């Protein structure tokens, strides 16, 4: 499969990259390429310009600064989960990064690219030929959403593994622009819209992930259920973080909505309660409250709902054993 034609740019600084993005509205940034280039081969993304960020020096690092952990957006996933601090103190992030695709994807793929990956849908992630039997869907440039059978909406699903882990670790992201940068909670970067899943201004690039020190001394885990254990997107993925010191728990899910979601009602129920039978019994009823499940994959919604409960309960049990 040939890639469509595009203009190739290879800036040497983030500022230069941001300027190109401002100048070329339909330009896309290239990091690991394992998501963007596949979508381009399928002609579901056809940017006029591809901006390769990998020649920008000094964007791959994992370092501690004033207690917080800062990870450069171009850090390969493999370097993230191999970092001794991440492996020991942030097991949810280590588990999530090491569950992405295959070993090759973890070598090539970057943490920034993983967070900014496209949403997925069975009508969208297909070759042009496969898609030609139906009118183009809204996401791919047409009008109709085949999932919802409605016009001008998109119900594709966010399936990234790393985002839920970072959500429960209360991570923030640095978005850099031509003249300056802003640090925002990771959660606010996701729009919840299938068509444009990221709330990033034109000319902005995600350059850093920041995890607060307070997230490190607590239990955390990420659990994923996928069709194949070897290489696959999650059918459902769940991250869980709990601190004995504050009695606070955080739960985030992926592949259940147009964005990664926090299960806030369940978190609220669990606040201050010791982990035990009470919490476990509440999971199934509360964990699905915030998710807006749509049938954008081949898996049934009831199966996904069951998995959400199972993965979260498994995580809570693991935390109980660890206490």
Partner 1 sequence: MKHGIELSVNGDLYEVLVAPNQTLLEVLRDKLGLMGTKRGCDVGACGACTVLLDGEAYLSCVMLAMDAVGKKIVTIEGLAENGTLHPLQDSFVRLGGLQCGFCTPGIIMTAKAVLDEEPHPTEASLKKKMAGNLCRCTGYTKVIEAVMDVAKRTGGQD
Per CB under 8 A, residues contacting partner 1 are: 1-8, 10, 30, 33-34, 37-38, 41-42, 50, 52, 54, 101-105, 107-108, 229-231
Contacts of 281 (CB under 8 A, 6+ apart): none
* C-alpha span between 307 and 267 (Å, rounded): 18
Q: Find, among 104, 228, 236, the residue nearest to 159 by Cα.
A: 236
Question: Shortest distance, CB of residue 298 to partner 1, whole angstroms?
Answer: 16
Question: Shortest distance, CB of residue 255 to partner 1, whole angstroms?
Answer: 18
Q: Which C-beta is closer to partner 1: that of 30 or that of 308?
A: 30
Question: Shortest distance, CB of residue 103 to partner 1, whole angstroms?
Answer: 4
Q: Find, among 110, 46, 33, 42, the residue nearest to 76 by Cα.
A: 110
Contacts of 297 (CB under 8 A, 6+ apart): 120, 121, 122, 157, 235, 255
Question: Shortest distance, CB of residue 208 to partner 1, whole angstroms?
Answer: 22
Q: Are 119 and 163 in contact (CB under 8 A)?
A: no
Question: Shortest distance, CB of residue 40 to partner 1, whole angstroms?
Answer: 8
Q: Which C-beta is closer to partner 1: that of 102 or that of 181?
A: 102
Question: Shortest distance, CB of residue 33 to partner 1, whole angstroms?
Answer: 5
Q: Which C-beta is closer to partner 1: that of 108 or that of 144?
A: 108
Q: Which C-beta is closer to partner 1: that of 245 or that of 298?
A: 298
Count of positions (residues) in the chain: 323
Q: Which C-beta is closer to partner 1: that of 102 or that of 191?
A: 102
Neighbours of 13 (CB within 10 A): 12
To the nearest 10°, the Cα dihedral for 232, 238, 244, 249? 150
Q: Which C-beta is closer to partner 1: that of 21 or that of 169?
A: 21
Question: Is the Cα torsion angle 35, 252, 304, 310 positive or negative in sign?
Answer: positive
Q: Which C-beta is closer to partner 1: that of 103 or that of 303?
A: 103
Question: Shortest distance, CB of residue 95 to partner 1, whole angstroms?
Answer: 13
Please give the full DSSP string across 228-290, using - where no structure is assigned.
-SSS---SEEEEEEEETTTTEEEEEEESSSSS-EE-HHHHHHHTTSPSSHHHHHHHHHHTTSS
Q: Find, among 127, 155, 192, 161, the residue nearest to 296 by Cα.
A: 155
User: Any idea what DSSP says for residue 307?
Assistant: H
Q: Which C-beta is closer to partner 1: that of 107 or that of 243?
A: 107
Question: Is the Cα torsion angle 146, 149, 154, 157 positive or negative in sign?
Answer: negative
Contacts of 129 (CB under 8 A, 6+ apart): none
Question: Shortest distance, CB of residue 178 to partner 1, whole angstroms?
Answer: 24
Question: Shortest distance, CB of residue 173 to partner 1, whole angstroms?
Answer: 24
Q: Which C-beta is closer to partner 1: that of 46 or that of 244?
A: 46
């Amino acid at each position: 499969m040939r890639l469509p034609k595009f203009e190739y740019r290879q800036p040497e600084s983030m500022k230069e990259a941001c300027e190109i993005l401002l100048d070329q509205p339909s330009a896309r940034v290239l990091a690991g390429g394992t998501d963007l280039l596949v979508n381009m081969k399928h002609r579901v993304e056809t940017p006029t310009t591809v901006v390769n960020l990998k020649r920008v020096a000094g964007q791959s690092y994992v370092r501690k600064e004033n207690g917080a952990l800062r990870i450069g957006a171009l850090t390969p996933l493999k370097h993230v989960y191999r970092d001794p601090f991440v492996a020991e103190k942030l097991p949810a992030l280590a588990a999530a990064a090491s569950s992405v695709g295959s070993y090759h994807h973890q070598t090539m793929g970057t943490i920034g690219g993983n967070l900014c990956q496209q949403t997925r849908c069975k009508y969208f992630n297909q070759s042009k030929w496969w898609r030609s039997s139906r009118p183009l869907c809204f996401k791919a440039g047409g009008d109709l959403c085949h999932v919802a059978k409605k016009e001008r909406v998109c119900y594709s699903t966010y399936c990234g593994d790393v985002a839920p882990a970072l959500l429960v670790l209360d991570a923030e992201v640095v978005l850099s622009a031509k003249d300056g940068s802003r640090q925002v909670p990771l959660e606010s970067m996701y729009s919840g819209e299938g068509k444009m899943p990221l709330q990033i201004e034109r000319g902005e690039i995600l350059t850093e992930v920041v995890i607060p020190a307070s997230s490190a001394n607590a239990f955390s885990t990420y659990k994923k259920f996928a069709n194949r254990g070897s290489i696959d997107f999650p059918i459902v993925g769940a991250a869980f973080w709990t601190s004995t010191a504050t009695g606070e728990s955080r739960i985030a899910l992926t592949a259940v909505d147009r964005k990664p979601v926090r299960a806030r009602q369940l978190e609220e129920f669990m606040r201050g309660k010791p982990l035990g039978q009470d919490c476990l019994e509440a999971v199934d009823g509360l964990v699905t409250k915030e998710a807006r499940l749509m049938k954008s994959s081949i898996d049934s919604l009831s199966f996904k709902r069951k998995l959400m409960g199972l993965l979260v309960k498994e995580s809570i049990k693991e935390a109980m054993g660890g206490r």
